[in-house]
Structures are given as structure tokens and as C-alpha cells.
Amino acid sequence: MNNIDFMTSLHKSTKRDYLGRVNDKEYPKAKAAMLAKQWGYDYWDGDRRINYGGYQYIPGRWEKLAKELILYYKLKPGDKVLDIGCGKGYLLYDLKKILPELEIFGLDISNYALLNSKKEISNNLKLGNCNNLPWDDQEFDLAISLNTFHNLYCYDLQKSLCEIQRVAKNKYICVESYRNEIEKANLLYWQVTCESFFTPDEWLWWFKLCGYDGDYSFIYFE
């Protein structure tokens, strides 16, 4: 189990107004969170004050990460990759674009995201919950989950960590975390769907509890 930071540069490419989000008059934090947790239009393509503000495919945005994953995990033609919390499938699309012989699969709880996913790979995406993955033991050469597991309550987090461990030989998870009170406050201000607020040491406790031995990294709201 290694801390491998694939995500910080992508995370820091977005500028955030923490106080602006929490104090917005039209979409106060509670209203924004309520809308976001429906995982529909408002979450993906609605007002930026709720979440993404129009989540569209941008050529090159996910390509660097896709190349890093292929290189680090030595992915080769015929390997099977699963993205848990795949959203509209943009990372999977770029993985397939770089290594066309990959077998790609995605799972997301949002029917809206899947209906509006990259059409070239939409048949590879499945509606479902990460606490009960519909695949066999060790079926995947790599399973990833980016910024998804922190949206789970503890009972689902435990099941989901056990599930990603079960279905894949190699694993990588990225979750939101905080190291001090400033980062904790910023995370609380910015997030709209997070249910698990843990320090890095607490996340490592969860990983050990669930027998998760894959790789991981954290993003912070500095």
C-alpha cells in the first residue's frame, strides 16, 4: 500500500472561493447540498455554485492522469480496468484512447451521468452502488476510485473498501482529507456531498480495518 499522488495537480487547477460558496444568497450551502445529493442535472451541469457547473469533456484534461496510470500499473493490451464513481466516463475514455486494447468498465450511482456520458464508451458503464460490485473476485487488473469514497456513510464505506479490494489485483483510491483546522474548514465550506470527514491517519485506519492494501492519495483544500 503506497501513497501515490496522481491527483493534486489536477485538483489545484481549479480555483475555489470557499466563503463565496458557503455564503451564497441564491444557493446557500444547505440548498446546494440538497440539490447536489440528487446526483442529477444540478450536480453535473447546473449552476457552478452547486457543484461542477457544466461538466464537459475537455481534450487533454484527463490524458496526463491516464498516461500515468497506464505507466505506473504497467497496463497492457487486454487488461481490464474499472472506474468506481466514473461519472460521465471521461477518464475511461482517455485511457481507451491511449491504449485502445484495454477493456474498460465504469460504475456510477448517477443515472444522469451515465445518460450524458461519453457516447463512445457509454455501453461500458453501469448503474450501481460501490458497496455491492457486480463483478467476480480479482476480475480486474486495476480498479480506481477518484473522489467517491468520501461521499459514503461509514457503513457503506466499509463495504465499498472491501468490495474494491475483492474485485481487483491493483487498486488506487483518492479521497478528500484535511491536515489542520484551515483545511478542515475549507473542506466543510466547499464540499456538497461529503459524508466521511477524516484526517489521513483516520483514512489509513479505515484501510487497515477493511483489509484494503491498494494505493491511495489525498486531496486537501489549502
From CA 71, how far away is CA 68, in angstroms rounded?
A: 5
Q: What are phi and psi of 191, to 5 degrees?
A: -65, 150
Q: What is the pTM of this model?
A: 0.94
**DSSP state at residue 150:** G
pLDDT of 14 reads 86
- 122 φ, ψ (degrees, to nearest 5): -60, -30
Tell me the per-residue pLDDT of 25-41, one tens digit each, with 9 for 90 and over.
999 999 999 999 999 99
Tens-of-pLDDT digits for all 222 residues of the chain?
899 999 998 898 888 999 988 899 999 999 999 999 999 999 999 999 999 999 999 999 999 999 999 999 999 999 999 999 999 999 999 999 999 999 999 999 999 999 999 999 999 999 999 999 999 999 999 999 999 999 999 999 999 999 999 999 999 999 999 999 999 999 999 999 999 999 999 999 999 999 999 999 999 999
User: Going from the N-terminus, what domains does the chain have, and what CATH number goes with each?
Assistant: 8-219 (3.40.50.150)
d(CA 187, CA 189): 5
pLDDT given at position 45: 97
Query: Nearest to residue 216, comparing CAs of 179, 185, 176, 183?
Result: 176
Residue 149 is predicted with a pLDDT of 98
